[in-house]
Amino acid sequence: MADSPDDAPQNKSQHTSTPSSPDSPFVSHIDGYMSGIDGLAELAPLAMVMASGAEQLAGQTYNKFLEDHCKTEGGSYRVPLGVHHKYRRLLRRLEKMKFARKALPATFVVALVSEFDAFLSGLIRLLFLAKPDALNASERSLTLSQLSEIGSVEAAREYIIEKEAEEVLRKSHSDQFSWLENKFGIVLRKDLTAWPDFVELTERRNLFVHTKGRISRQYLEACTHAGVDCSTVKHGDTLDVSPEYLRKAHRIIFEIGVKLALVLWSKVVPKERERLERFLASNIVYVLVESKRYTLAIVFADFGIDVFKKFSSDLQRRVLVVNRAQAYKWSGDTAKANAILLGGQSKTGH
């Protein structure tokens, strides 16, 4: 499910990297998120193979039982009364394996979006802790009895942050972004080309949770509003998850979540800008290039150059530029790689 490595020469490219600073809570939070969704991405194809194997084995056992214990009559099997209980047990197992194999891809889609939701909850907490003024502007209040139960101002702050995050997570993902934009005074979706795909993914996840994938009017309305082409589907159709869609879902969840965190981190904690630049250049782009995930490496390298135009550290700018050139080179675009190294223009928006 993770980005398939693009064809590249066998010799290992020489990446430029510098140590990351582990002392920002944003670093560990984003690192944990990337590891979590990458873990799901690596597990998914293995789980699919195991589910298909289990279904195949159950089918073979069922068919062998029919051949050994049942007689054919008019093209169908007649199950003797004495072995009917075993027949039902083998049939139920085969049906369960078929269901599990079909349901598994959708389960991974649900898990990916759930990881994003948990990540967003933790990110909101970090943002409030880094910018207490945003929490002070909250309309949420505590009664005297609640404050007495909680016991301290620190605990009261944690309580309010938790309630704020819970309220945000009850909103649609589009409304969550609107809330973040309003709360922290920043535009998040301008030129974000992955946004329509993200909305479609989160709405599809809702269908899997509530309607087993059957398209609702809410799905069509939300997707159309976000700019998704819904001309090939209609209300009542049932959506599934192909291996290609699952790989795409992983890339979208990775891109949207990490970009969101980087932009808000930069806005809310400007004094950590150099740490952010180092993290982007070394822990994200470099690692993606090293693991041959060139599509995402290019996405984040271009994003860094386009969004963080004025770097606080020339060293980190150079690290990002070199790793960006490497991503283009190993993806097959040597001309673009050379243009970057010679000071060529960055790409179109993020």
Q: Radius of gyration (Cα) for the chain, nearest Å? A: 25
Amino acid 188: pLDDT: 95
The span from the CA of 301 to the CA of 246, in Å, is 23
Stretch among 161-165, 175-179, 245-249 having the lowest mean pLDDT: 161-165
Amino acid 145: pLDDT: 58
pLDDT digits (tens, 9 = 90+) for 246-265: 999 999 999 999 999 999 99
Amino acid 152: pLDDT: 63
More confident: 177 or 14: 177
Burial 119-156 (b: 16+ CB within 10 A, else e): bbbbbbbbbbbbbeebbeeeeeeeeeeeeeebeeeeee
pLDDT digits (tens, 9 = 90+) for 195-237: 999 999 999 999 999 999 999 999 999 999 999 999 999 999 9
pLDDT digits (tens, 9 = 90+) for 78-134: 999 999 999 999 999 999 999 999 999 999 999 999 999 999 999 999 999 998 887
**DSSP secondary structure, 113-145, as one string:** HHHHHHHHHHHHHHHHHH-HHHHHT------HH
More confident: 166 or 223: 223
The span from the CA of 206 to the CA of 184, in Å, is 27
Instruction: Name the residue among 237, 40, 199 with its Cα closest to residue 32.
Output: 40
More confident: 152 or 28: 28
Residue 77 β-bridge partners: 72
List of residues 6+ apart from 113 with CB closer than 8 A: 201, 202, 205, 253
pLDDT at 4 over 60: no
List of residues 6+ apart from 304 with CB closer than 8 A: 277, 280, 281, 285, 320, 324
**DSSP secondary structure, 168-213, as one string:** HHTS-HHHHHHHHHHHHT---STT-TTHHHHHHHHHHHHHHHHTTT
Query: Is residue 186 within 8 Å of 267, Cβ to Cβ?
Result: yes
Pairing of strands 71-73, 76-78: antiparallel
The span from the CA of 323 to the CA of 16, in Å, is 6
Tell me the residue ranges of DSSP E strands in the chain.
Answer: 71-73, 76-78
Neighbours of 65 (CB within 10 A): 18
Structure tokens at 82: 């004495």
Q: Give the DSSP letter of residue 78.
A: E
pLDDT digits (tens, 9 = 90+) for 265-295: 999 999 999 999 999 999 999 999 999 999 9
pLDDT digits (tens, 9 = 90+) for 306-348: 988 889 889 999 999 999 999 999 999 999 999 999 984 444 4
